Amino acid sequence: MPAKTNSSDQSVSMQEIADRCSVVQATVSNVLRNRPNGRVGDETREKIFRAAIELRYKMRSDQRIDSRKRQIGYLLLDLDFAYRDSFYSGSLVRQIKMIEESFDFNVQIYTYPRDQFDRMLYKAVCGDYCDALVLSRYGGEELVNELVERLPIPLVYLDDSHGLKCSSLSPNMDAMGRIAAEHLYQKGYRKFAVFGGYLSDYRGMRGLGFVNFLKELGIPSKDIIIYDEEYGFNGGRMMALQLIKQLTREPVGVFSHDDDVGFSALQAFQEQRISVPNQVGIIGCNNAVHSPYTYPPLSSIDLMANDHAQTLLRMLTNSMKENRIDTIRTPLKLIPRGSTMLTPD
């Protein structure tokens, strides 16, 4: 990949952006300054933001972060993903903010609705002069590579993807599911369920790892149930209630895609007087801070956010200094607790 050039020391005018986009300067001004103008279509608006980013247009100095530290922009699709500890992104953000000073970084968190991505990207690159970006949940390989091509600064993508033109960091999603399946199998479960299946998207890679491991052990497909519901507390409860209707005398081992789903499932099982772990065993992901304090304590897979934060900031340093592209799949740790400790008859 060609080296990224930093053009922040070059003066770019709104007229240059207007010329590139074949619009008048006033249109560029209205878009970049977020002035309401119903006559500017979405396609034109996106084109202006993209041109400003590629040229690295400078916003006024009073709109920018004033810092001598290297600026890192971390773009997140939803506020929940930034600050909820039960999500990997939330744990990672917390750990990054704890250690950023030791790397001489200032990590700025940008949360945005999906239709405002280009505006947030413009703010990070042209407004706050970020030296590098971190991004997750943006899209597939083709979308990410297209973004890399038009960015004037390095990008690290947090996803278990292949064939990217930028550095990427992620827990090994397939291994996550396999660890959960092996644990439940070793504890004596022979019927299984996945809560939060979504086997067609990036989260589904952990579910596929879970299912594939069990099939390799000879578990028939009829003994593996996949439930697809929304993430979070409501989704976990709905999936638990569906499973309860299908329970037999044989205990079921459940893999929950995150601990939030696991928490609400545990609550639903308790309300319906379902014994955990003797009728249903459940293991979650991310080892959230509340996991040891549920009843029974929730088994989980620790995504090691502290180690990941260190690795991520080192990757950013390498990307800025040497224009390196690294692909790293970070280690995981099984944390067994009472929710999967099936007791023999």
Do 122 and 53 touch, CB atoms closer than 8 A? yes
CA nearest neighbour of 8 among 155, 156, 128, 154: 128
Q: What is the pLDDT of residue 68?
A: 61
Q: What is the pLDDT of residue 79?
A: 64
Q: What is the pLDDT of residue 293?
A: 95
Using only C-alpha atoms, the chain has a radius of gyration, in whole angstroms, of 23
Q: What is the pLDDT of residue 56?
A: 79
Residue 329 Rama label (left phi>0; alpha psi -120 to 50; beta)? beta
* 87 contact partners, CB below 8 Å, separation of at least 6: 80, 81, 258, 260, 286
**Consecutive 10-residue runs of the chain (345 residues): their mean pLDDT?**
45 87 88 75 85 80 57 80 67 90 92 82 87 84 89 89 87 92 97 77 76 96 87 83 95 93 94 96 92 96 90 92 87 96 74
